[in-house]
Amino acid sequence: MKLKILTEFIFLIPMAITFWFGLYIYTAIIALSLAIGILYHLHEEKKFFELDVFVSLILIATNLYFVYLSSFKFPYFHLALISLLASIYFWTKGRKTNYQGTLMPSGYDFNHSMWHISSMLITLFCILAYIIN
């Protein structure tokens, strides 16, 4: 199984935390994002793209909402920002590039996997900002 599919499963960590603390809608959004992301990668990134982007945007909005509710609590908000910078770095570095008329991954799987990890950390820190008083 490819690394980028395996790293989708790290979203089980924030999903379990939101479930434990009774944030069931947040749990459902993370679960939906996880399921659609796995489907997207299992289908060689040829299906479910629009749905994956849409659900990811819902997760981003939910993260922003909960970090707002936390009043941008230190240090979690700041850790989320650092994770955001890392996710932008890995997303940009992992972009597929055109090489002699074909799409070549060129480190895409690794960088996309690192993007999953940094994105999960954003979600985790937004959750922690909200639940830790």
C-alpha dist (Å) from residue 31 to 38, 83, 96: 11, 21, 27
Buried b (16+ CB within 10 A) or exposed e, 89-116: ebeeebeeeeeeeeeeeeebbbbbbbbb
Q: Is the pLDDT of residue 104 over 90?
A: no
How far is CA 98 from each of CA 49, 72, 88, 89, rounded to the nearest angstrom? 19, 40, 20, 19
| Kind and range of the H or E run holding 102 | strand 102-104
89 φ/ψ angles, rounded to the nearest 5 degrees? -60, -50
**pTM of the full structure:** 0.87
Rounded-to-integer distance, Cα 66 and Cα 3, Å = 29
Alpha helices in the chain (DSSP H): 3-6, 12-20, 24-42, 49-69, 76-93, 108-131
| Structural domain that includes position 62 | 3-131
Q: What is the pLDDT of residues 51-64, one digit of tens each?
A: 988 999 999 999 99
Domain count, the chain: 1
pLDDT confidence tier of residue 1, bands split at 50, 70 and 90 = low
Q: In this predicted model, which residue has the larger pLDDT, 126 or 93?
A: 126
For position 96, what pLDDT does the model report? Answer: 60
The larger pLDDT score, comparing residue 25 to residue 45, is at 25
